[in-house]
Amino acid sequence: MLSLDGLEMIAVLVVMGLFIKVLEQFGMFEPVGGEDSVEDDFELSTVCHRPESMDKLQEQTKFTKKELQVLYRGFKNECPSGVVNEENFKTIYSQFFPQGDSSMYAHFLFEAFDTNKNGSVSFEDFVFGLSIILRGTVNDRLNWAFNLYDLNKDGCITKEEMLDIMKSIYDMMGKYTYPSMQDDAPREHVENFFQKMDQNKDGVVTIDEFIDSCKKDENIMQSMQLFDNVI
């Protein structure tokens, strides 16, 4: 069982860990056939959204063409229309936490992937985010995580925003991981989070404070390395 401090670390790392499960759910560790098999799918599939060419996506991400083929095949199997909406996204995550409620955390995660704010996540949206999470630099990954937790996108994380995040994580897994925890546990974790991250004690955490504090945390840095070269 994780220590109590582990729940605060999860606030930074859970998004990365869950993506391992998402990749498995999408069958993204399965080998693909010929080089052009998925390129043919781009041309032949009747979908609502047809992705950009593999060559262009390869230039824009840190995935190889074959990795993109694997990712697309898995994405299309789960999302035949070529896009996933928020309800489908929540359904995918609910499978990993059948005894908890992952809907709010999935909502926050969906918002982070829906960069165009059009209510859907395309294959391009998915691989752009995944490229950062799995192949980005430490700064890239921490920037992405910060953006996830900066709910109103004003450039800083407030205690209210972090409380919403902590409650969503606690609803998703905390009560079953720590059954003896009190209902005010999420708020206590927020206070601990701010003690570590809010370096100038002004009541908000900026991107610079977030990145600097995470880089000084050996557990976070070691855990982030676990997601290198996942696929």
**Topology given in CATH for the domain delimited by 64-135:** Recoverin; domain 1 (1.10.238)
Residue 3's φ and ψ, nearest 5 degrees, are -70, 165
Of 112-116, 185-189, 219-223, the one with minimum mean pLDDT is 219-223
pLDDT level of residue 139 (50, 70, 90 thresholds): very high
Query: Which fold, 138-230?
Result: Recoverin; domain 1 (1.10.238)
CA distance 25 to 43: 25
Task: Please indicate whether residue 6 or residue 75 has the higher confidence score (pLDDT).
Answer: 75
Any residues with CB less than 8 A from the CB of 137 and at least 6 apart, and which? none
First-to-last alpha carbon distance for the chain, in angstroms, is 27
Strand-strand pairing, 83-85 and 204-206: unpaired
Tokens of 223: 């855990």
Cβ atoms of residues 52 and 124 within 8 Å:
yes
Residue 45 has pLDDT above 70, yes or no: no
Going from N- to C-terminal start, the domains of the chain cover 64-135, 138-230
Residue 68 has pLDDT above 70, yes or no: yes
Query: Which pLDDT score is estimated for 9?
Result: 47
Burial class (CB in 10 A: 0-12, 13-18, 19+), 87: exposed
The mean pLDDT value of the chain amounts to 78
Backbone angles phi, psi at 191, to 5 degrees: -60, -40
Q: Report the pLDDT value the prediction gives residue 120, as an integer from 0 to 100.
A: 92
Token pair for residue 175? 């009560």
Nearest to 14 by CA among 151, 171, 157, 127: 171
- Alpha-carbon torsion (133, 81, 103, 173), positive or negative: negative
| Residues 155-173, mean pLDDT to the nearest whole number | 90
Residues in Cβ contact with 95 at an 8 Å cutoff, skipping those fewer than 6 apart: 25
Mean pLDDT of 67-94: 85
**Structure confidence at residue 115 as a pLDDT band (50, 70, 90):** confident
Question: pLDDT (tens digit, 9 = 90+) per residue, 32-42?
Answer: 444 445 444 45
- Specify the higher pLDDT residue, 140 or 94: 140
Q: What is the pTM of this model?
A: 0.77
Question: Does the pLDDT at position 119 exceed 60?
Answer: yes
Same fold, 64-135 and 138-230: yes
Overall average pLDDT of the 153-180 stretch = 83
Strands 120-122, 156-158: pairing kind: unpaired
Q: What is the pLDDT of residue 205?
A: 97
How distant is the alpha carbon of residue 24 from its chain centre? 15
User: Which helix (H) or strand (E) covers residue 96, if one does?
Assistant: none
- Residue 191 binned pLDDT confidence (cut-offs 50, 70, 90): very high
Q: Alpha-carbon distance 179 to 176, whole Å?
A: 5
